[in-house]
Amino acid sequence: MKHGWPLVLAGALLLVASAGVPSRLAAGSPVPRSLLLHPDAPVLNRPAPERFNVRLETSKGVIVIAVHRDWAPRGAERFYNLVRAGYYDGNRFFRVVSGRWAQFGINGDPRVANAWRTRTFPDDPRRIANARGTVAFAFAVADGRATQVFINLGDNSETLDAEGFAPFGAVVAGMDVADALDAEYGEASGGGIRAGRQGPLFEFGERYLGRHFPRLDVIRRATVRAAATAPPSPAQPSPGRSQRPPR
């Protein structure tokens, strides 16, 4: 029996290696970036805290998003897990229109971007208006949200609320940074999901954007932080003209 332990241990290690991904990590542990190629791994589908902050360290400065799970539970959980896994690190803000929105969420590595492209989650009912500073997932069809997120740079509630865009958080610091993100390329550098111009981003990733749209700002690092002790009240719409929705 004593001499059989090495064989048992070797067999166990072989089983772990053949599984490809670990089944769990300790709470609060960072997720290995290699897991980004395995969207169905349990560690990438954990429940999100009721409230947490996400700090985006961008090429223009820091943006802090306060996430409220009760606003949009599914969206909050997807965002939480993607941030923990480092999915948004190195992402470009590929669609920025001044006074309207700043969109990001296509990973610069085409292998990772395509692994998540069809990993959609069911819609959340909209509970919060798409007021300036709120953050929501972009989508093209029902139950079609995956990884792409936008910050409302203006009050888009008149248009986006009726279309079902469901904010899961709001910018609580760095809105001036969001306003300053490079908007010179507008829709040309990727557009929305329905616009039909995102193919090169999924096929060539950062190589394409860096070559053709080099001044787009980038998220250098995104991290989950503990929520403030007194979370902000739900964003309310303010007067403003309607805008064409992020698609």
The model's pLDDT over 165-177, given as tens digits with 9 standing for 90+, comes to: 999 999 999 999 9
Domain annotation for the chain: domains and CATH numbers: 49-226 (2.40.100.10)
- C-alpha distances out from residue 29 to 10, 35, 72, 141, Å: 26, 13, 24, 34
Average pLDDT over every residue of 162-189: 97
Confidence of residue 191 (pLDDT cuts 50, 70, 90): confident
Q: Pick the closest to residue 118 from 87, 140, 90, 93 (CA basis).
A: 140
Instruction: Residue 193: count other Cβ atoms within 10 Å of its Cβ.
Output: 21
Please, which residues have CB within 8 angstroms of residue 123's CB and are 6 or more apart in sequence? Answer: 74, 139, 142, 143, 145, 164, 166
19-23, 67-71, 170-174 — which is least confidently predicted?
19-23
Q: Which amino acid is at 137?
A: F
pLDDT of residue 18: 29
pLDDT at 201 over 90: yes
Q: Is 101 helix (H, G, I), strand (E, B) or coil?
A: strand
Average pLDDT over every residue of 116-134: 97
pLDDT at 37 over 60: yes
